[in-house]
Amino acid sequence: MHPGAWLLWALSAGFVAISTTNPFYLLPLLGVAWVVHAACHRSGPQARSWRIFLIFGVLTICTRTALVVFLPDIQLGSVVEAALEGLRLAVLLTVFGTYNTVSDPFGVLRLAPRRFHEPALAAALALSIAPRTIAAVSTVREAQRLRGIEIGRFRSLPALAVPVLETGMEEAVVLAESMDARGHGRGRRTRYRPERWSRRSSTVALASAAAVAVVVWALLRADPSLAMSAFPITWPRVSPVVLAAVLVLSLPAWLPQSASERTTT
């Protein structure tokens, strides 16, 4: 699918996530992110990076809640509110992780106009950090096993961390040399073959725009179902229209893929 369609999907899902604290919207959106990842992920280290984002999401919920629990005169509503805010951040991280596994990070670079080439390059490099780090960890762990080093122990972690950091530095140097060889920053830019915008891309783009439109409509109407009350704690309402907008974001997982797309998943 076209990188622009994936970018629109990720931005739409992220907008939905930050617009609500209702767990009956956030948890289905988390399920949507998992379904899209499972059905559309690209092969290689990118696929394994999704679990890292999910773990960071869980840690975000725990950390955000713990910061409130240790406060004096804590109230149950404060704990619930902190947990919901942590859940919202966790879903946002998971959506970002899904986008990282289904789309080529350097697709952002191909979409950017010439004047935004440098910011797009920085974004592409940031998106590629997780898969490159996971690939480096896998390589180092395999090499350590061959040397008889057990990485599972806490004392052996430096034996894993140091080579991973060294590999990252080497890749950064290689990338800088390749950018310099291509004339980056000297007014020249590599031209990329334009991506084809397929019918599947159009369908996903329209579905993503429709989901955003529904949430914007709910925000303008001050829909009470978008936020769960913590003072006092009440059972959250659910709007079937907003819930449908959340679920429609899973459309990329159900649309048939082309032959070229199937070879990368």
Q: If pLDDT is split at 50, 70 and 90, which confidence band does 88 have? A: very high
Q: What is the mean pLDDT of residues 77-106?
A: 91
DSSP secondary structure letters along the chain = --HHHHHHHHHHHHHHHHT---HHHHHHHHHHHHHHHHHHPPSSHHHHHHHHHHHHHHHHHHHHHHHHHTSTT--HHHHHHHHHHHHHHHHHHHHHHHHHHHS-TTHHHHHS-GGGHHHHHHHHHHHTHHHHHHHHHHHHHHHHHHTT--TTSGGGHHHHHHHHHHHHHHHHHHHHHHHHHTTTTTT-----PPPP--HHHHHHHHHHHHHHHHHHHHHHTT-GGGS--BTTB-PPP--HHHHHHHHGGGHHHHSPPPHHHHTT-
Average pLDDT over every residue of 216-226: 96
By residue range, what is the domain housing residue 164?
Answer: 3-262
- pLDDT tens per residue, range 1-41: 888 899 999 999 999 999 999 999 999 999 999 999 999 99
Average pLDDT, whole number, for the chain?
82
Average pLDDT over residues 196-205: 91
Report if pTM > 0.75.
yes
Q: Tally the domains of the chain.
A: 1
Mean pLDDT, residues 240-249: 97
* The predicted structure's pLDDT at residue 31: 97
